[in-house]
Amino acid sequence: MAQSQVAIIGTGLIGTSIGLNLMARKDRSYTVVGADRDRGAARTAKKFGALDREVGSIEEAVEGAGLVILAVPVMGARRILQDAARYVKPGTVITDTCSTKAEVMRWAEEFLPAEVYFVGGHPMAGKEASGPEAATVDLFKEATWAMTPSPRAHEGAVQVVQGLIESMGATPLYIDPAEHDQYAAAISHVPLLISVALFRMARDSAAWDDLSLLAGPGFRDLTRLASGDPAMARDIVSTNREAIVHWLRRFRDELDTVAKAVEVGDEPVKDLLASTQLDRDTFILNPPRRRRIEKMEAPSAQDAIGHMFVGGMYDRLKQMSSANGDGGRAPRTTDSDRELRRKLGIEEDDDRR
């Protein structure tokens, strides 16, 4: 039996970290190929053991692949989806790791053939440094990983991506793409811009040379996001401008409230900070539960899916897509895609009926 192939397009911090995870499996029955516009980055990823093979084009990467992972800035995903659409075979599962989801989902709908299954994704993980050199196998451990499956994605495809995510130690969170973008603006994109503004405030000061001597871990933490990839930031703004403008305004309102407390007196500052501290400590000590997941899948089923990905679920899906029609253990599914499953030759899974 020929080996299955996973393609990673974009071998920066995220793509290379995914590659390290995929390559670390002892029982793997797939090869990992990678491509990057910057071939040096792809070669570095290969050197670090994140790829079996480095290739020079989208075509080479996706032609034999059953699972394609786009780990590029948002606008890069647009180009690659257009390009890859010409080479992908029916049944291929495509996922991405882009910072915004609504536009990406629109492009997938627009460019991909109907039998190619797109499942959007966004790992809420990262670090100060970027590039393949910064990749680590545990980057996604305990991270939330937003999932936005295309309405026409086969449920088996969704399970493959969920299995991939869980096998890296992350927690999938099913979410509507528009909702994702609104929340990501508040929790990620506006913080990035705040980080930039704070660093510029200090850096643009005539006193920077002296002032920077005092900078401690607080300043470093708060400006960390300002070291992110500018192209990624540009693409985020380009595809989520309205939400970002909205949350920036909300942030300025809150800052005005804080500034007013500072001007008014000492106790108002203490009261404001005491209630904020309480709320934040609650948030840190009792992190929000992944309620949506629990609604969709019982924990035992999730375990099974993780196992399926590692143990062969992905291969079976690939076999289906190659029209070998040898069936296999199918994930739980709904009536709506029963016909599709029949077409692909997937038998009902008895113990889940």
- Amino acid found at 146: A
Three-state secondary structure call for residue 197:
helix
CA distance between the termini of the chain: 31
Q: How far is the CB of 27 from its own copies (least distance, A)?
A: 30
- Which residue in the set 39, 238, 303, 326 belongs to the binding site for its own copies (CB under 8 A)? 238
Site string for its own copies, 143-162 (x = CB under 8 A): xx-x----------------
Does 213 engage in binding with its own copies (CB under 8 A)? yes
Size of the site for its own copies (CB under 8 A): 98
Does 295 engage in binding with its own copies (CB under 8 A)? no
Under 8 Å between Cβ of 99 and 126: no
What are the backbone angles phi and psi of residue 312, rounded to the nearest 5°?
Answer: 140, -5
- Which residue in the set 205, 325, 347, 349 belongs to the binding site for its own copies (CB under 8 A)? 205
Site residues (CB under 8 A) for its own copies, limited to 309-338: none
Does 298 engage in binding with its own copies (CB under 8 A)? no
Alpha helices in the chain (DSSP H): 13-24, 39-47, 58-63, 74-84, 102-111, 155-167, 177-184, 190-203, 208-211, 217-222, 230-264, 266-285, 291-296, 299-311, 313-321, 338-343
- 32 versus 165: smaller Cβ distance to its own copies: 165
Under 8 Å between Cβ of 150 and 119: yes
Q: How far is the CB of 243 from its own copies (least distance, A)?
A: 11
Taking CB under 8 A as the binding criterion, the range among 8-16, 112-120, 231-239, 295-303 that sits at the site for its own copies is 231-239
- Which residue in the set 33, 61, 165, 226 belongs to the binding site for its own copies (CB under 8 A)? 226
Q: How far is the CB of 299 from its own copies (least distance, A)?
A: 17
- Which residue in the set 17, 195, 319, 321 belongs to the binding site for its own copies (CB under 8 A)? 195
Put the strands of the sheet holding 117-123 in their side by side order: 53-54, 30-35, 4-9, 67-70, 93-96, 117-123, 144-149, 171-174
SS3 of 75-105: the string is HHHHHHHHHHCCCCCCCCEEEECCCCCHHHH
- 215 versus 298: smaller Cβ distance to its own copies: 215
Taking CB under 8 A as the binding criterion, the range among 47-55, 159-167, 204-212, 338-346 that sits at the site for its own copies is 204-212
Does 340 engage in binding with its own copies (CB under 8 A)? no
Give dist(CA 275, CA 279) in Å, integer.
6
Site string for its own copies, 75-94 (x = CB under 8 A): --------------------
Give dist(CA 264, CA 14) in Å, integer.
46
- 29 versus 227: smaller Cβ distance to its own copies: 227
Q: How far is the CB of 326 from its own copies (least distance, A)?
A: 39
Give dist(CA 71, CA 99) in Å, integer.
10
Under 8 Å between Cβ of 145 and 165: yes
- Which residue in the set 24, 212, 327, 349 belongs to the binding site for its own copies (CB under 8 A)? 212
Site residues (CB under 8 A) for its own copies, limited to 116-145: 124-128, 143-144
Six-digit token string for 302:
């999730």
